[in-house]
Amino acid sequence: MEKKNSTGNLKRIKNVQVSRPFIFGNMAVPLGENKPPNTPSDHTHSWTVFIRGSNGEDLSNFIKRVVFKLHETYPNSTRSIEEPPFEVTETGWGEFEIAIRVYFIPEANEKNVVMYHHLKLHPYGPEAEKQKAEGATVTSLQYDEFVFNEPTESVFEVLSKKPGAILPAQKSARVPYSVQSENEELDRLGAAVQIVKQNINKMQERLKYLESEKEGLSN
C-alpha cells in the first residue's frame, strides 16, 4: 500500500541509489594583535566549522538541520543550525573533536547521521613553520557522500532537481573537489580504458597469429 502522509510520498524506489557529495571541516585564522572587541584574552584563533555541497551548494533541499557539538568549554556547546549556511563561527584557543549530526528532511524518512571533525587551528605538514610565520589560514576538509539507498519518492524528486543555492565562497577554502576535477578524472579513466582496449586487441591478434602458426606446424 502506498504510504503517504503530510510529509509527502514515503514509498521507496526499489533498486535505486542516489548520492550527494559534500565537504565538511573547518577554517581557522590566528587573531594576532587585533582581536575583535569582547574576545576573551586567552583566545588565539577565529574558526568556522561547516558542511556544504562539494560545489559549495547549501544542501538545505534535503538537510533540515545540522547540530554541531563543540567542546564543553564553550557556552551552549550544542549548536543547532536550522538554516543554511550550516556552519558555526567561534573564537578559541584549542583544538578538539566536533561531532556534526545531520538531520534530513522528514520526507526522506532517513535516520540522522553523525560525522566527526577534528578542529584544526595550527598549520601542519611540510609548510607548517612558514605558514605559522605568515599567520596563514588553516583549512582542514573531508570529502564524503550521502548515499540514499532506495530513496523515498519525495526525496528522489528533490535530489533529481538542481542542487541547492551556491553559498558565498569560504575565504581561502580551496575546495579540492569539484565537478570539473571529477570530469577530468573521468576523462583520464576514459583514455585509460581506450588504451586497455587497444592492448586487448593487440594481444588477440597475436594470439590468432600464434594459433595459426601452431596449426601450420602440426599439419
Chain positions contacting ligand SLL, by CB under 6 A: 40, 71, 73-74, 92-96
CB of 68 to ligand SLL, least distance (A): 14
Asked if 25 and 142 count as a contact pair (C-beta separation under 8 A), the reply is yes
- Which CB, 46 or 137, lies closer to ligand SLL? 46
Strand order, beta sheet including 45-53: 86-92, 45-53, 17-30, 138-149
- Which CB, 20 or 45, lies closer to ligand SLL? 45
DSSP states of 10-23: --B-TT-EEEEEEE
Phi and psi torsions of 62, nearest 5°: -130, -5
* Separation of alpha carbons 45 and 54, rounded Å: 26
Asked if 123 and 132 count as a contact pair (C-beta separation under 8 A), the reply is yes
* Separation of alpha carbons 56 and 129, rounded Å: 30
- Which CB, 23 or 88, lies closer to ligand SLL? 88
Grid coordinates representing 49 are 566549522
CB of 138 to ligand SLL, least distance (A): 15
CB of 42 to ligand SLL, least distance (A): 7
- Which CB, 38 or 180, lies closer to ligand SLL? 38
- Which CB, 94 or 176, lies closer to ligand SLL? 94
* Separation of alpha carbons 8 and 3, rounded Å: 9
What is the DSSP pairing of strand 63-69 with strand 78-81?
antiparallel
- Which CB, 95 or 153, lies closer to ligand SLL? 95
CB of 180 to ligand SLL, least distance (A): 37
CB of 30 to ligand SLL, least distance (A): 13
CB of 74 to ligand SLL, least distance (A): 5
Grid coordinates representing 114 are 553523525
